[in-house]
Structure 1
Amino acid sequence: MTLADLQANAKEHGFTHHFMCERDGVRSDGTGHLYAADELRLVHSNSTDHGTDPGDDATLFMIEAKDGTKGIMIVADSFHTDPHKARIIDQLRRNRANS
């Protein structure tokens, strides 16, 4: 699957917003609300791996906020990952494992 396919699939499942990392949390493009990591739940993730160029690899994370806002966050391959995104995703994964 391509990243576009993954985005279309997420949208079909109600994950219509985009979550963007900021210094103090994660902001939704739809509501403008700034969420702390403990207000978010990692629902599912899918990765693309085309095998030829690691720069084309990415993971799409489907995230739901406690207020019901559903959105995605796309994280580039490990060589190009934004450290803020990596920290948030690591925290969401830990929260998921502990629940």
Structure 2
Amino acid sequence: MDRQMYHYATVSKALEELAQKGFTTDFNLEEDRIVNHCEDFTIEHIYRYEGETDPGDEATVYGIQSKDGEKGVFVASHGAYTEKSAAMMLHEMSIKGRNDE
């Protein structure tokens, strides 16, 4: 997996950069699609943000691509990682991807 990690000052900047790379679908609006078909997606980019004073400000921005070539983003906040959430599925995929390298 040729995934890249970048660090930008803000989530907005990461989303802007991903949009310029063709990641235009907002997969937050299609969370069930990721949960029900996570095997159809690959993580291409990961941007992580940690709150300087408040852990509630933590976020991860995923640049993901579907098997059919659709590129988009998923933004996971600190509280989004429930057992069957898209955020948890993507987090597990990112860990697996690191172990496969």
Query: What is the RMSD computed on CA atoms of the aligned residues?
Result: 2.1
Give the TM-score normalised by the residue count of structure 2: 0.73
Aligned equivalents of 2:91, 2:50: Cα separation in 1: 20
Q: 1:44 to 1:7 in 2, by over 3 A?
A: same
Equivalent position of 1:9 in the other structure: 17
Task: Select the structure that is richer in helix.
Answer: 2
Equivalent position of 2:48 in the other structure: 47
Task: Could you list the structure 1 runs, at least 4 aligned residues long, displaced by more than 6 angstroms after superposition.
Answer: none
Aligned equivalents of 2:12, 2:91: Cα separation in 1: 24
Q: Which amino acid aligns with 1:5?
A: K
Task: Select the structure that is richer in strand.
Answer: 1
- Between the aligned residues of both structures, percent identity stands at 23
Runs of 5+ in structure 2 lacking a partner?
1-8
Aligned equivalents of 2:49, 2:91: Cα separation in 1: 19
Aligned length: 88
What is the CA distance between 1:95 and its match in structure 2? 5.3
Give the TM-score normalised by the residue count of structure 1: 0.74
Runs of 5+ in structure 1 lacking a partner?
28-34
